[in-house]
Amino acid sequence: MSEPMVAVEGLTRTYRTGKVEVPALRGASFSVASGELVAIKGRSGSGKTTLLNLIGGLDTADAGTVRVAGKDIGGLPEDDLLALRRDVIGFVFQSHGLIPVLSAAENVEVPLRLARTAPAERDKRVQVLLGLVGLADHAEQRPYELSGGQRQRVAIARALANRPRLLLADEPTGQLDSETAAAIMPLLRAVVASEGVTVLVATHDQALLGEADRVLHLEDGAITETPVPAA
Ligand code: ADP
Ligand code: MG
């Protein structure tokens, strides 16, 4: 067996504001194999964002370990964490976070510029990615000229720009109507197939789970695995 892309062991995170303690994670453990599309379901407030932030190196756990592509990210110096977030992990959030004054193509290009990719290669990569998310004909449109679903597709393309090995998507359909939302999971499935990326997607929308390889349930700060619902 090859090493899992994500291995989480006994992850604990308690938020403290004044005297109030909110235990968001209480020893969550699971792993995700390379090339899997795994959904994490849980009601609002169950700790999904906390979990993804810890896996993405955006937050630090109180206890437990997170290994991404074999690296224990808890012990990494800040520079290595930055490199991990830039080179290994792609993020998609509930809000698309596109830059309003840039076109769809330019938004996808931003991470390629930051990585100092050569212009010709940047153009090629942007075209491939916009094609992959079904927006080849919308390259020049700005975010306000796109629908909510299209914007989220641009955000997915942008997250993939630097060929991450792991894509973390935090309720990517949270602001979409149910029909538009239903198209996002098949898109993530296509992304796994064509980019070879591993995808971990948090959602509280039951309707999205059918497309996943596995469904993890986050409840009371811990993870249990539940069957993938029939389509
Ligand atoms: P989800 O993404 O599943 O909705 P979150 O991870 O955002 O859940 O939150 C889990 C719990 O931690 C909730 O009770 C939430 O109110 C609390 N929480 C999240 N972020 C913070 C924070 N920065 N400070 C204090 N409490 C927080
Ligand atoms: Mg959340």
Q: Which of 16, 20, 44, 50 to mutate to test the pocket of ligand 1 (most atoms within 8 A of CB)?
A: 50
* pLDDT score for 119: 96
* pLDDT score for 206: 86
* Residue nearest atom 26 of ligand 1, based on CA coordinates: 15
> Which residues have their alpha-adjacent CB atom under 5 A from ion ligand 2?
48-49
Task: Work out the mean pLDDT of the chain and round it to a whole number.
Answer: 94
The Å distance, Cα 51 to ligand 2 centre, comes to: 9
Q: What are the tens digits of pLDDT across the range 117-150?
A: 999 999 999 999 999 999 999 999 999 999 999 9
Strand 89-92 and strand 71-72: the pairing is unpaired
The Å distance, Cα 39 to ligand 2 centre, comes to: 13
CATH of the domain spanning 34-62+78-227, picked from 3.40.605.10, 2.60.120.10, 3.30.428.10, 3.40.50.300 = 3.40.50.300
- pLDDT over 90 at 13, yes or no: yes
In the chain, the largest separation of any two C-alpha atoms, in whole Å, equals 55
Residue ranges lining ligand 1, Cβ < 6 Å: 15, 17, 22, 24, 42, 44-50
Please give the number of the atom of ligand 1 that sits closest to the Cα of 51. 6
Given pLDDT bands bounded at 50, 70 and 90, which one contains residue 75?
Answer: confident
* pLDDT score for 86: 87
From the CA of 54, the nearest ligand is: 1
The Å distance, Cα 17 to ligand 1 centre, comes to: 12
The Å distance, Cα 45 to ligand 1 centre, comes to: 6
Q: Which residue has the tokens 């991470």?
A: 111
Q: What are the tens digits of pLDDT across the range 212-221?
A: 999 999 999 9
Q: What are the tens digits of pLDDT across the range 173-212?
A: 998 999 899 999 999 999 999 999 999 999 988 888 989 9
Per-residue pLDDT, averaged over 74-91, amounts to 91
Domain ranges of the chain: 34-62+78-227
* pLDDT score for 231: 67
Task: For the chain, give the DSSP string.
Answer: -PPPSEEEEEEEEEEEETTEEEEEEEEEEEEE-TT-EEEEE--TTSSHHHHHHHHTTSS--SEEEEEETTEEGGG--HHHHHHHHHHTEEEE-SS----TTS-HHHHHHHHHHHTT--HHHHHHHHHHHHHHTT-GGGTT--GGGS-HHHHHHHHHHHHHTT--SEEEEESTTTTS-HHHHHTHHHHHHHHHHHH--EEEEEES-GGGGGG-SEEEEEETTEEEEEPPPP-
58 in Cβ contact with 51 (< 8 Å) = no
Per-residue pLDDT, averaged over 75-96, amounts to 91
* pLDDT score for 1: 57
At how many degrees (to 10) do helices 119-132 and 148-160 cross? 130
